[in-house]
A and B are shown apart, each in its own frame.
Chain A
Amino acid sequence: MSEVKKFLYVNRKAPYGTIYALEALEVVLIGAAFDQDVSLAFLDDGVFQLAKGQNTKGVGIKNFSPTFRALGDYEVTKLYVEKESLDERGLTLDDLLAVTYEDEDDDYEEKPSIRLVSRAEMADLMSTQDVILSF
């Protein structure tokens, strides 16, 4: 088996104004087939992607926020959200979707995928990756 690399997908854009957010999610889903060590980072306007209660009926665009909740099935279980970015936007963890995964190594216990980190911790996370893909 080839060496497992650490992949970080960096999300810095709000969900519907540009195609970046949807493209990132599709790349993550496709990339999940390759059994790498995948993490997602949400900072700046990227945190808006995880906002609860999105309803796109009025704008004629597909609401892809429910798909974040499927990431656990794709074994993508680490969604790092930057606290400072939430603070700047008047948001807290309670305003975000409940994204969970079932931990196969812990009797399939349901655990939260979203991990709140500080800006400094986010910088540390970025500096320990093999590959960073930005959207």
Chain B
Amino acid sequence: MSTLHTVNKSPFATQTLQSCLNHVKDGDTILMIEDGVYGGTVGTTIAVAVAAITGKVAIRVLEGDMAARGINADRLINGVTPVDYAGFVKLAAETDRTQAWL
């Protein structure tokens, strides 16, 4: 049993990513989309918290939203990996439920 969490807000504008991190369970997946993709990059004020959870929770970032914002894969936190739209669909199909953090 696992949950796919989507986060679509910048962690610098809202507490959405922090709240998501506070409520995930081991084995869940967090997918960062839209402005949420900034949460997957290195050197930010939330990067330590994101890096700390990568052992327990898979963290994926939507490629199209990264590219649109000029974020290359080498800017992602270790253990955070890109995913394309097909991968997004696959994740949604493989998990038991999806929770959107708005």
Contacts and interface: CB of A to CB of B under 8 A. Distances in A.
Interface in A69-95: 84
Contact of A130 (B23, B24, B97, B102): B97
A127 B100 contact: no
Contacts of A134: 99-102
Nearest to A13: B102
Interface string B23-51: 11100100000000000000000000000
A127 B1 contact: yes
A10 B100 CA distance: 9
Interface residues of B, number: 16
Contacts of B23: 43, 119, 122-123, 126
Interface string A7-49: 0001011000000100000000000000000000001100000
B38 to A, nearest CB: 19
A44 B25 contact: no
Contact of A12 (B25, B98, B102): B102
Interface of B: 1, 3, 15-16, 19, 22-25, 28, 97-102
Closest A-B pairs by Cβ, 9 of them: A123-B23, A132-B99, A134-B100, A127-B25, A44-B19, A134-B102, A132-B97, A119-B22, A129-B97
28 contacts: A10-B99, A12-B16, A12-B102, A13-B102, A20-B102, A43-B19, A44-B15, A84-B22, A122-B23, A123-B22, A123-B23, A123-B25, A126-B3, A126-B23, A127-B3, A127-B25, A127-B28, A128-B1, A129-B97, A130-B97, A131-B97, A132-B3, A132-B99, A132-B100, A134-B99, A134-B100, A134-B102, A135-B102
